[in-house]
Amino acid sequence: MNPSALHTPSPWVLAARAEKMNPSVLRELLKVTERPGIISFAGGLPSPKTFPVEEFAAACAKVLRDDASAALQYAASEGYGPLREMVAASLPWSVDPAQVLITTGSQQGLDLAAKVLIDQGSRILVETPTYLGALQAFAPMEPQVQSVASDEEGVDIADLRRVQAAGTPARFLYVLPNFQNPTGRTLSETRRAALSACAAELGLPLIEDNPYGELWFDTPPPAPLTARNPDGCLYLGSFSKVLAPSLRLGFVVAPKDLFPKLLQAKQAADLHSPGFNQRVVAEVMKDGFLDRHVPRIRALYKAQRDVMLAALAQHMPPGVTWNRPDGGMFLWARLPEGLDAAALLPKAVDRDVAFVPGAAFYADHADARTLRLSFVTASEQEIQQGVTALAAVIQENMA
């Protein structure tokens, strides 16, 4: 190697916004937890057991046989018409397919919303804690992110009023009403009604992110916030948790005045989401496949949740607390006073068990004692084993 190359100054000048981008703490963590032999409660991955492989094989073959020229061609940025219609018809309020924008995962919906709605310094509001991937999508637009206090039922309405009154009006509140990532909690009906009324009164738009809503265990969650005030909400959905995440397909349902700007942002980002995947999904979903498939996912995840709840009750030392999610993939736990989940993680990994420390999910004032446990990818036996090991690590560190 030419030694002078070592001293050549880099010609690249980073944009200020690039300085705001951070590596996902989660993805970095996942690298450690992917070590063979580790029982990981850390991932945010759906169980591969739920992937409808045969249906995909048949649908791929059919799409290629009947529709290859269109399926492999550039396509409309809005998305594949029949899929937009299916999405609109599946939602529990009146949605015009023209309001549905198919996105490259709902993660892209967050990115597009950030580009269209946030100026440098804009105030935006999030729950405490919130989805880390949303914080990552919002950060490059350089907003002032402010947390609204939240409890086991979700956003605290009095605190929302306080925060909104404390500065320039926020551009939006980002909210995850169902089986939230990371906490697994659900916004109650009373709270939804109050939040919807309060947001309308304050003129505060809502971004409602709902990738887990179909994964309920006993009863469906209350109606979406968007159903109550469609013009004041941007709704995000995903095929990742009901079909497969590698499709990278999600959607936004946008009020008519917002749709054109989101579409333009999408055109700049990727022209369109994969047309082949969209046709395959439409083919798989036609004839009501999800009505048969999703109940199997619910049953599997519910059984896994129950195994984890039982193992926690059996093994955790006094002072550790956790919730009982009514759906989704995650459970939220809190360590006794004096313990720090991030400091505990390497010790847990030494004992072949991993989780995600909760601090990463807070926009500010992180609670270092919290942690997120996924109950969907480990087997029942691994859940038993992993919780036993985790309980032992906690016990040792309490001493």
Ligand X SMILES: Cc1ncc(COP(=O)(O)O)c(C=O)c1O
Which residues are at the interface with ligand X (CB under 6 A)? 44, 105-107, 131, 133, 176, 181, 209, 211, 238, 240, 245, 250
- The sign one gets for the Cα dihedral 185, 191, 197, 202 is negative
Q: Burial letters for 240-249: b for 16+ Cβ neighbours within 10 Å, e otherwise?
A: bbbbbbebbb
CB of 105 to ligand X, least distance (A): 2
Q: Which residue has the tokens 């979700």?
A: 154
Closest residue by beta carbon to ligand X = 105
Nearest CB to ligand X, comparing residues 133 and 275: 133
The minimum distance between CB 112 and ligand X, in angstroms, equals 12
- Kindly state the smallest distance separating residue 193's Cβ from ligand X, in Å: 22
Smallest distance from the beta carbon of 76 to ligand X, in angstroms?
20
Instruction: Pick between residue 131 and residue 259 the one whose CB is nearest to ligand X.
Output: 131
- CA-closest candidate to residue 78, choices 100, 52, 48: 100
Q: Which is nearer to ligand X, 77 or 106 (CB)?
A: 106
In angstroms, give the least distance from the CB of 383 to ligand X. Answer: 20
Which residue, 114 or 320, is less far from ligand X as judged by CB? 114
Nearest distance from residue 122's CB to ligand X, in Å?
21
Compute how many other C-beta atoms are within 10 angstroms of the C-beta atom of residue 256.
11
Q: Which is nearer to ligand X, 83 or 391 (CB)?
A: 83
What is the C-alpha separation between 111 and 262, in angstroms, rounded?
10
Long-range residue pairs from 188-196, CB within 8 A, at least 24 positions apart, any chain: 188/153, 188/154, 188/222, 189/222, 190/153, 191/153, 191/154, 191/155, 191/157, 192/222, 192/223, 192/225, 192/228, 193/228, 194/157, 195/154, 195/155, 195/157, 195/160, 195/225, 196/225, 196/228, 196/229
Among residues 381, 378, 375, the alpha carbon closest in space to that of 326 is found at 375
* Nearest CB to ligand X, comparing residues 46 and 394: 46
